[in-house]
Amino acid sequence: MGHWLYRNIVEPGKLPLLLALGAFVVTFLVTRVITRLIRAGRGPFGNVRAGGLHIHHVVPGVVLSVLGGFGAVASGRHGFGAAAFAVVFGMGAGLVLDEFALLLHLDDVYWSEAGRKSVEVVVLTAALVGLVLAGFSPFGVNDMTADELQDRGTVISGVVVNFVFSLVALGKGKFRLAVLGVIVPFLALVGAVRLARPDSYWARHFYRRRPRARVRAALRAQRHDRRWDRPRRAVQDWIGGRPDARSARLPGPGPGPDGE
């Protein structure tokens, strides 16, 4: 295990990426635990306010991301500085993306239905970074044997093929399947060969003169949403907490409760 870690993580300079991913995931999980405790009125935590202004945790997240990002660029891929700044950047990114929905809507939607977008973005981001981390890079590793080079080439070729399938699935409006398909071999092939969603780029351009295909695509999308919407929401609620429609406020001045 130690030899594999050194050859595939430390030697190619991926250790900062591993630390950043770990800090990103841990920060998001800790933040969600704290916000849920605040929402339930339990524990010693509370919203941060300054002069009557509610300070969302996206604010320190942006500061940490800027410090960690510039520090990591200046430090390179090796050494203590690179590792430390990677952790800082991962923490900042976790805080920022935990409130991605707030940035998207420019409104305090943390515990509303729209706030589910934050959980989706965090999960997809962690999956994509994990893909980059787990990929066997042929660069930055010294004295590779012919078998090692062949194995890495095979893995990279498979990733490229999966990426092509993912692009097709993305064009068909299957966003989650496209992203996960980059990680799980040939999963995106399912989305690439099936009917596109009726509002997707693929449907608008390739189903324009195929009315039967448009009708079938709409019916299939409705059946799919009915079947998978509840399990998807259950997973999102387990990770980030159940949305509360009462917590959504109307746009306007003044602080609003986001459970930070």
Residue 155 pLDDT level (bands cut at 50, 70, 90): low
DSSP 8-state code for residue 234: H
Mean pLDDT of 26-42: 91
Handedness of CA 47, 53, 58, 60 (dihedral sign): negative
| C-alpha to C-alpha distance for 30 and 36, rounded to whole angstroms | 10
- Measuring CA to CA, how many Å separate 10 from each of 17, 84, 134, 148, 182? 10, 15, 12, 17, 24
**Domain presence at residue 250:** no
Across 78-87, 115-124, 228-237, which has the greatest mean pLDDT?
78-87
Q: What is the mean pLDDT of the chain?
A: 80
> How many domains is the chain built from?
1
Of the ranges 9-18, 157-166, 210-219, which is most confident? Answer: 210-219
pTM here is: 0.68
Q: For 10, which DSSP code?
A: I
Residue 252, in any domain of the structure: no
Structural domain including 40 reads: 1-142
Return the pLDDT at 97. Answer: 94
pLDDT for 66 equals 96
Residue 24 has pLDDT above 80, yes or no: yes
Q: Is residue 153 part of a domain?
A: no
Supply 106's token pair: 């420019």
Residue 42 lies in a domain: yes
State which H helix or E strand residue 109 sits in.
Answer: none
User: In this structure, is residue 248 part of a structural domain?
Assistant: no
Helices (H), 99-142: 100-105, 116-134
Residue 4 — very low, low, confident or very high, per pLDDT cuts 50/70/90? low
Within-domain flag for 204: no
Rounded CA gap, 96 and 216, in Å?
40
